[in-house]
Amino acid sequence: MIGIVNYGAGNIFSLTAALDRQGILYGMIDTVADFDHYDRYIIPGVGHAGTAMQKLQEKGFVPIIKSLKKPVLGICVGMQLLTSFSEEGNATLTSIIPMDTLHFNTEHLKLKVPHMGWNKVRLETENELFKNIETHSFFYFVHSYFIEFNPNFTIASANYGIKFSAAVKRDNYYGVQFHPEKSGGAGEQLLKNFTYLN
């Protein structure tokens, strides 16, 4: 069963609604002790990465998240929290995945920020998280900061003036920059796939 890390920085209603539609069982993690009740975890998140990290620290969740051996999925800011550093607030994050979270350079790229809406996601390497999802599917994004592309950890990419990581993996830790709970059938398939990861 999935444990949703409830630290006050997640859009939990949309996520739980998507899980309910798929009949996927879940519960809320409100304390450190709650982690023991689940066999996989989702870290949701919207808003400011630095503030989200501070909330995780205040709840005492950071050490246990870094020690987990079961599958973990970070969504949007939850994905960014897995990286080492964010330009948003010049924040030091968990460093679970040694990558940086950067701001879209609007002057150089002539882009509107936040990057909002549907964008094609390209699978860089075969991975069970994307099982039964077409190689070039569209997912829904809302973000002003992105995780740099790194072939060692990027399992799917997207492009918004610059190629960036749409999904990453290191060991049992996964992250997606898009919102699977708002991405229709492809997003719901990804959530279903997560429930079967070893």
76 carries an active-site annotation: yes
Burial of residue 63, with CB atoms counted within 10 A of its CB: 0-12 exposed, 13-18 middle, 19 or more buried: exposed
Q: Which entry of 48, 115, 143, 181 is annotated as an active-site residue?
A: 181
Q: Quick check: 35 and 64 in contact, CB under 8 A?
A: yes
Count the Cβ atoms, other than its own, within 10 Å of residue 89.
13
Residue 179 catalytic? yes
The DSSP code for 149 is: P
- Phi, psi dihedrals of residue 173, rounded to the nearest 5°: -100, 130
Q: What is the DSSP letter of 129?
A: G
Beta bridge partners, 92, equal: 85
Of 48, 115, 143, 179, the catalytic one is 179
The per-residue b/e assignment along 31-61, b for 16 or more CB within 10 angstroms, e otherwise, is eeebbeebebbbbbbbebbbbbbebbeebeb
> Beta partners for 119?
139
Q: What is the β-pairing status of strands 72-75 and 173-176?
A: parallel
- Which of the following is catalytic: 48, 76, 88, 143? 76
181 counts as catalytic? yes
Alpha-carbon Rg for the chain, nearest whole angstrom, is: 15
Active site residues: 76, 179, 181
